[in-house]
Structure 1
Amino acid sequence: MPFANYKVPQAALTRAQKEELIHRTTDLLVEYFSEAARPHTMVLIEEVPDGGYGRADVVFTVPEEYRASDD
């Protein structure tokens, strides 16, 4: 079973963007493994709270203007 796991900043993606990411990832994996993989493909999107991730000793938070809105 193909499995993809994305970790993204909390509130960075809208519900529609998450759905698109799931569909596009599934399509990508089907290209590699054949259509038979579609019903067994798992895509997990995990949202990491602000301050729960970083790079090179810099802790990240998502600026308000970059937060997704489901409006």
Structure 2
Amino acid sequence: MPFVNIKTPEGALTKAQKEEIVHRTTDMLVEYMSEAARPHTMVLIEEVQDGGYGRADAIFVIPEAYRAPAGA
């Protein structure tokens, strides 16, 4: 069973973008493994809260410009 785990800052993606990522990732794996992999492919998108990880020795907070529109 193919399993893909994607971590992204909380609020960076809309529901529609997450759905597209799941579909496109599944399609990509099917290209490599055959159509038999489709019903067994799992794509997990984990949203990490602001302040929940660091980059360049500093706690990361997503800039407002990178946030998905409210309610999307």
User: Residue type matched to 1:4 in 2?
Assistant: V
- Between the two proteins, the alignment pairs up a number of residues equal to 70
Summarize deviations over 1:20-65 as a string: whole Å, max 9, x none.
0000000011011100000000000000000111222121111122
| 2:36 alignment counterpart | 36
RMSD over aligned Cα atoms: 0.8
Moved over 4 A (4+): none
Structure 1: gaps spanning 5 or more residues: none
Normalised TM-score (structure 1): 0.93
Percent identity (aligned): 74
In structure 2, list runs of 5 or more residues that go unmatched. none
Match of 1:55 in 2: 55
1:6 is paired with a residue whose SS is strand
Q: How does 1:1-71 map to 2 (within 5 A)?
A: 1-69=1-69, 70=72
Q: TM-score, normalised by structure 2?
A: 0.92
